[in-house]
Structure 1
Amino acid sequence: MKNKSLGKNAFLNGLRSVLNIIFPIITFPYVSRILSVGELGKYNWSNSFVSYFWLIAGLGIATYAVREGAKLRNNRKRISEFASQVFSINILSTVASYVLLLLCILIFPKVQSYSACIYVFSIQIVFTTLGTEWIYSIFEEYTYITVRSIVFKILSVIMLFIFVRKQGDYLNYAGITVFSAVGSNILNYLHAKKFCTIRFTFKIDWKAHLKPILIIFASSVAAKIYLSLDTTLLGLINNNYVVGIYSVSTKMYDVVKQLIAAVLTVTIPRFALLWGRNRYREYRKLLLQISDVLALISIPAAVGVFMLAPQIVVLLSSAKYIRAVSSLRLLCPALIFSIFSWIFTSCVLIPAKRENKVLIITIISAAANLILNLLLMPSLEENAAAITTSLSEAISMLLGIYYSKDIIKRLYDKGFWKDILLYIFGALAIVVICICGNAIFKSTIRIILFDVILSSLEYALILLGAKNKFALDVLEYILRRFK
């Protein structure tokens, strides 16, 4: 099989991420004005609760499947056998997750008050399993995924304006969210036959699959604790209003993080392929390039979100959510920490089959998150959740560096750190521009337009002036396309 262009895949996955961003940018301001803060809190709490059972159903299979399947993709018989076994394990774990979900609803009175919304969100569990999206990651088929996303996002936006018209329509909003996320997964399952034959089987090599899957799953559970437990605890310790406020912060944070991570996501199968075939020189070169590009993007993005937090909150929700500004700003450091943590776990430790190290990292990060949340949340509420998320991501990143040190030894040279200083200098210039924008304009939209356009130009000019390789490559590509 011919290798797909990483540049093209990054663009397509970036486009898909932009679509995932545009959907909440279009829908969230509308929904936050239609629904009450409490209803939005109930929606987000239910989604967060179901995500634990979605995680149980997933069982870490997607990460394992991409890592191992990337090495088999040139042999249809072997990849079909592998995919069928992994898919069958996924079906069994999905059944188990539904049983546990129903038991929780029956046993806990607090959960029963959210049951209707929980049932709606639970639909995504089975459709995610049937979607077998890991197949498309193995074969780097981002064109199909992108086209599919465009169609279903457009349909979802239309449905939103038809079915969410008044307070009380939060269940309709939940249903449309599920449709947007996993509505196309039946098509995924059918279309996957182009690459391999997937069927349910009881002939599973449990000895080969179970141990790495469970280690990755345990890591995923621990990661989920420090990524989603904050919302769950806010609902239990505080109230739906606080959850509603924090959901605005996390929505904006997730939007930016998702866009940055689009560059990284498409490279994970390539890292698994290069490491699996012992092509270590190419692997290290790609790792250095990806680290540099993500630093170039994430550092100014975090600074820009911090400076524009009040305008972002007002524009994408309303003035009644202005309290979310502080927690959004406290989440900004996590944008950088989480991206680099992801590099070391998904691009270094997982391809190197060090799932046990990833498990240690996530357990320590999750424990820190849980303890700090319990201590700080009663007094600091949503700000405590934001602080602990940033700290947990920092811990995860530092531990990732520690456990990867033999692989990345002498990789990050003086040139890399010189680039980091350049990106920090460019980010400081963004601060100056944003201060000027706030002083000159009063209109939210004008401030955002002035700050974003001028900051982007300023950052690009600083990179080009310093002869940054990535910036020069992009400029050369643009000029070549014009010619």
Structure 2
Amino acid sequence: MKTIRNLFYNASYQLLITLIPLLTQPYISRVLLPKGNGIYTYTWSIIQYFVLIGDLGITLYGNREIAYHRDDKKERSRIFWEIEILQLCTTTISVLAFFIFLHFDHQYFTFQLLQIVWLIAQGIDISWYFMGLEDFKKTVLRNTLVKAVSVILIFVVVKTPADLWKYILIQGGAQLLGGLSLWPYLRGSVERVSVSVNGIIKHLYPAFVLFIPNIAIQVYAVVNRTMLKQFDSTVSAGYFNFSDSLVKTILSIVTATGTVMLPHIANKFSQGDMRGVNNSLYRSMNFVSAISVPLMFGLAALSMKFAPWFFGHKYNEVGELIFFETPIIVLIAWSTVVGRQYLMPVKRIRDYTISVTIGAVANIIVNVPLILAVGASGAAIATVISEALVTAYQVFAVRDSLQIRKMFTGQWKYFVSGLVMFVIVNFISSRISMTFIHLGVEVFIGIIVYTVGVMLTRAHIVDEVRRLVRARFH
């Protein structure tokens, strides 16, 4: 029940951060205009490389190590302080590297400098500690409050394109306050312990091992925006950012399971319960497929009409980008299960690293010709190609330790139900105007069609829901 409760908390938070862009992006797209949004996208993409250096794999490593030792308060306290001191050191180095970068790159200097708040926030972020304890309630409640305040500030403070600097500070400031708000909860959870330089340094290598795949992940998560600015235009970078952000926002509902299940599976692995690890994985794969497939088809069906209505008439191109990019909802959902919920907890970091490296290299290789040929649409297509390669390699890597057929048994039922839903919703969308009421009706019809489809085909998710209901009321 604890895992279900954590899924509820994390899913609730993911729903919140899904709704926040739905509130702010239509406003920001119209106020800052394509140029302002393009500048924000480009400068944000640059700071994320330095945030990556500051993180150095510590977020994933710390989450896993706390999960391994969560029942020993003294040991987890020692691990916490050693890892956090290491994080402060790596962040300091990253800050210095960022100032060196600014010395040589003066384009959008002021906006670049303001983005440094994201980097400072990285240094004091201890969410990995509470995730390792599977204590998601604290992080969710505090971050919910911070996000709510940031939304209010955006509507109150950001009024014209000249307020871009305020928007940057609000976005970075929300991250900083979210990190600071978790520190009071350490009281009673960790003890004062003595730490040594050697104790701190010993975490450097295993964290760095996780840093390598993080580099690759960041490359194909951020490099598209940077390359679009270099090979096409700043405006195209803004278009792609809105498309990618919306798709990833919808995707976050699904990938919430990865954050919850990683410490849960890591703990089972530390106890030698491989049967429990595998069973959790099979059930998780079924769950994410049942959710991600309708999200993919539903968003694709609505994309062309939704984008100009949601972002404004100057953003027609975003609808096409969303349509091209929707397959990553399913692909990343699958790779979250295989990579984040299996390969990482059972310490198969090499396979995970190879998979994301393949994705990063492929993304860079295909990005240039595709962007030069079709602009921002090329970046969207490149994203899908790279994610497909990541997922394919991860599935290939676990073929000897997991039953691949069992992982994907019955998946066709979700795709058939989703495809029927796509045809119906797309038909309706093409014949009516996009309004808030019409959107609600289309979403409702899509849910009904998909639900009927999975029930008629007797998909596995139906049995899972029945099992959970019985467990809850008996």
TM category (shorter chain) comes to over 0.9
Amino acid at match of 1:120: L
Give the conservation status (yes or no) of the 8 Å contact 2:142–2:182: no
Which residue in the other structure is 1:280 paired with? 274
Give the conservation status (yes or no) of the 8 Å contact 2:35–2:235: yes
Which residue in the other structure is 1:96 paired with? 93
Aligned pair partner of 1:404 in 376, 391, 398: 398
CA offsets 1:165-204 (integer angstroms, 9 cap, x no match): 1121111111111233331211212312332247895433
Structure 1 CA distance, aligned partners of 2:470 and 2:34?
49
Which residue in the other structure is 1:69 paired with? 66
1:25 aligns with 2:19: no
1:331 aligns with 2:325: yes
Give the conservation status (yes or no) of the 8 Å contact 1:284–1:411: no
More divergent stretch after superposition (395-404 vs 438-447) = 438-447
1:185 aligns with 2:208: no
Which residue in the other structure is 1:133 paired with? 127
Which residue in the other structure is 1:115 paired with? 109
Gap change, CA 1:263 and 1:353, over 3 Å in 2: closer
1:470 aligns with 2:461: yes
Task: Report the CA distance between 1:15 and its aligned residue.
Answer: 0.8
Give the conservation status (yes or no) of the 8 Å contact 2:410–2:460: no
Which residue in the other structure is 1:156 paired with? 150
More divergent stretch after superposition (356-365 vs 155-164) = 356-365
1:431 aligns with 2:428: no
Aligned pair partner of 1:297 in 291, 301, 318: 291
Is there any run of 5+ residues in structure 1 with no aligned partner, and where?
A: none
Secondary structure of the 2:203 match is helix
CA offsets 1:232-284 (integer angstroms, 9 cap, x no match): 11111222111121122112111111111112221111111111211011111
Which residue in the other structure is 1:209 paired with? 203
Give the conservation status (yes or no) of the 8 Å contact 1:56–1:94: yes
More divergent stretch after superposition (174-183 vs 251-260) = 174-183
Structure 1 CA distance, aligned partners of 2:465 and 2:167?
40
Secondary structure of the 1:35 match is helix
1:374 aligns with 2:368: yes
Structure 1 CA distance, aligned partners of 2:427 and 2:28?
32
Amino acid at match of 2:102: I
Task: Report the CA distance between 1:13 and its aligned residue.
Answer: 0.4
Task: Report the CA distance between 1:129 and its aligned residue.
Answer: 2.3
Gap change, CA 1:473 and 1:345, over 3 Å in 2: closer
CA offsets 1:390-444 (integer angstroms, 9 cap, x no match): 1011111111112222221x2542xx54420110111111122213312552233
Which residue in the other structure is 2:412 paired with? 421
TM-score (norm 2): 0.95
More divergent stretch after superposition (465-474 vs 420-429) = 465-474
Amino acid at match of 1:50: I
| Identity in percent | 21
CA offsets 1:109-142 (integer angstroms, 9 cap, x no match): xxx2222222222112222321211011011111
Structure 2 CA distance, aligned partners of 1:417 and 1:99?
47
Secondary structure of the 1:407 match is coil
Is there any run of 5+ residues in structure 2 with no aligned partner, and where?
A: none
Give the conservation status (yes or no) of the 8 Å contact 2:220–2:364: yes
Structure 2 CA distance, aligned partners of 1:291 and 1:284?
11
Give the conservation status (yes or no) of the 8 Å contact 2:308–2:319: no
Aligned residues: 474
Secondary structure of the 2:326 match is helix
Secondary structure of the 1:267 match is helix
Structure 2 CA distance, aligned partners of 1:453 and 1:198?
53
CA offsets 1:7-57 (integer angstroms, 9 cap, x no match): 111111011111111111111111111112111000111111101100100
Secondary structure of the 2:70 match is coil
Task: Report the CA distance between 1:477 and its aligned residue.
Answer: 5.8
Secondary structure of the 1:50 match is helix
More divergent stretch after superposition (312-321 vs 380-389) = 312-321
Structure 2 CA distance, aligned partners of 1:19 and 1:100?
34
Structure 2 CA distance, aligned partners of 1:316 and 1:443?
9
Could you list the runs of 4 or more consecutive aligned residues of structure 1 that deviate by over 6 angstroms after TM superposition? 478-483
Alignment of 1:144-293 (within 5 A): 144-197=138-191, 201-205=195-199, 208-293=202-287
More divergent stretch after superposition (462-471 vs 193-202) = 193-202
Which residue in the other structure is 2:303 paired with? 309
Give the conservation status (yes or no) of the 8 Å contact 1:140–1:266: yes
Which residue in the other structure is 1:355 paired with? 349
Structure 2 CA distance, aligned partners of 1:372 and 1:343?
26
Gap change, CA 1:113 and 1:200, over 3 Å in 2: farther
CA offsets 1:320-371 (integer angstroms, 9 cap, x no match): 1011122111111111112212222212211221222222222222111111
Task: Report the CA distance between 1:105 and its aligned residue.
Answer: 0.6
Give the conservation status (yes or no) of the 8 Å contact 2:85–2:200: no
